[in-house]
Amino acid sequence: MSIFNNLPQVKYEGPKSRNPLAFKYYDAERVIAGKKMKDHLKFAMAWWHNLCASGTDMFGSGTADKTFGAEPGTMEHAKAKVDAGFEFMQKLGIEYFCFHDVDLVPEGETLEETNRRLDDITDYIKAKMAGTSIKCLWGTANLFSNPRYMNGAGSSNSLDVYCHAAAQIKKAIECTVKLGGTGYVFWGGREGYETLLNTDVKFEQENIASLMHMAVKYARSIGFTGDFYIEPKPKEPMKHQYDFDAATSIAFLRQYGLDKDFKLNIEANHATLAGHTFQHDLRIAAINGMLGSVDANQGDYLLGWDTDQFPSDVYETTLAMCEILKSGGLTGGLNFDAKNRRPSYTHEDMFLGFILGMDSFALGLIKAVELQEDGRIDQFVKERYASFDSELGQKIRAGQASLEELADKAVKKGSAPLPGSGKQEYLESVVNQVLFG
């Protein structure tokens, strides 16, 4: 039975098309910079936003109908969501999905009951996957919604809550492995604090690290060969979250010896909440060899929270794709951790949201490749540091120079000339020319 029977298979029609249900830029099979577009842009559907969220906010109930013909809270509904999700992905040509344990099934009274339901639904999903090209990108455990996690999971003050989190992680890893997922995410939704007056930060961070070590050990023991990811976010729901941004998360992973098994899942709207650009956090992850996957969305610069909008800003997607291309591409993918605005409540809007996001990243990819081929920006950056090509510069780069040597040179020179112009305005005009010329 079709759920989206009034909605078509979405095809590429090119930039001149006026068909709202067609791609203008995303042409899955087109080869660009040596790879098919669909391999540069491994798009994923987030189960939670697309199949679960109905637009509830703190001022009102949901506007979108996500029942898909079944009673919410039942296993029939869990299966209807699978049916809807697969039809949706197939109609849009999306080959990956991401999930939290509780997105898949309603939680039971006991862990045993929830786990039994997870066994059933993953059997059902696995059967659906057979014969399609749809795969699991990553899985995770929701360790933030249930009241038991009010003080966090790995950072909880309660040993019972900590163990419950361990049980959920264990099962979510098993489900991820069963579905062939290539990644496992830790988003520290409530791993942080509301006030330092009641918080032992060192104790909590050590406990989070121990939980991650146990997760890695268990996952490897059952054959998981993929990457673990931390997904940084500075705040919301907590006032302060420990995985503040890429730099903080990398320092944590290195401090606790987790950096061999973990990379980062960088989310655009989380980077901007941390006071960075999306490009910044991608760059910091990439130069540290830690750029694994991306939660593709965008925030609203006038709002101080995570609005999880579908990406539409091609300037941003272009700069993001520049970083991703430079880093050699993602081992993970581009997961649309994005939701329709509350007034965009129809099934057609679900399609239009993904078309916008996929086209925005496809155009970003096309423009990033054009910027690379244009070469002026890369050339400018290279020349900007050209003074270090000298013999002394090379000695400094190799870590073989001494402070005395540099001081001698400076004294002989008398005064340092001004460094070359940064030429920001020129570089911005090059970006505009490539984008709109």
**Interaction of residue 339 with ligand XUL, rule CB under 6 A:** no
Indicate the DSSP class of residue 48. Answer: I
Smallest gap from Cβ 437 to Co ion, in A, equals: 34
**SS3 label, residue 263:** strand
Rounded Cα gap, residues 198 and 192, in angstroms: 12
Residue 174 or residue 337: which is nearer to ligand XUL going by CB?
337
Short-list 16, 43, 7, CA closest to 360: 43
Least Cβ distance, residue 295 to ligand XUL (angstroms): 5
The one catalytic residue in 27, 83, 101, 103 is: 103
Q: Is 347 a catalytic residue?
A: no
Residue 57 a catalytic site member: no
Quick one: 175 or 273, whose CB is closer to Co ion? 273
Site of tokens 């759920």: 3
Q: How far is the CB of 100 from Co ion (least distance, A)?
A: 10
Which entry of Co ion, ligand XUL, none binds 140, CB below 5 to 8 A by partner kind? Answer: ligand XUL
CA 339 to chain centroid, in Å, comes to: 14
Structure token pair of residue 185: 């995410």
Which C-beta is closer to ligand XUL: that of 7 or that of 55? Answer: 55
DSSP assigned state of 197: G
Q: Which is nearer to Co ion, 100 or 280 (CB)?
A: 100
d(CA 347, CA 39): 27
Q: How far apart are CA 420 and CA 376, in angstroms?
A: 16
Residue where the block lists tokens 């540069």: 40
* Nearest by Cα to 292 from 336, 245, 227: 227
Give the footprint of ligand XUL on residues 99-138 (CB under 6 A): 100
Q: Does 306 bind ligand XUL (CB under 6 A)?
A: yes
- Candidates 140, 249, 298, 340; binder of ligand XUL (CB under 6 A) is 140
267 binds ligand XUL (CB under 6 A): yes
DSSP H helices, 158-296, are 159-178, 201-221, 246-255, 268-273, 278-287
Any contact of residue 295 with Co ion (CB under 5 A)? Answer: yes
Is the backbone of residue 181 left (phi > 0), alpha (psi -120 to 50) or beta? Answer: beta
| CA 46/CA 353 separation, integer angstroms | 13
Tell me which residues in 201-260 interact with ligand XUL (CB under 6 A).
231, 233
**Which C-beta is closer to ligand XUL: that of 231 or that of 323?**
231
The 34-73 contact track toward ligand XUL, x by CB under 6 A, reads ----------------------------------------
Report which of 271, 284, 186 is spatially closest to residue 227, judged by C-alpha positions.
186
295 binds ligand XUL (CB under 6 A): yes
Nearer to Co ion, 101 or 295 (CB): 295
Active site residues: 100, 103
Which residues of the shown chain bind Co ion in the complex (CB under 5 A)? 267, 295, 337
Which residues of the shown chain bind ligand XUL in the complex (CB under 6 A)? 100, 140, 185, 187, 231, 233, 267, 295, 306, 337
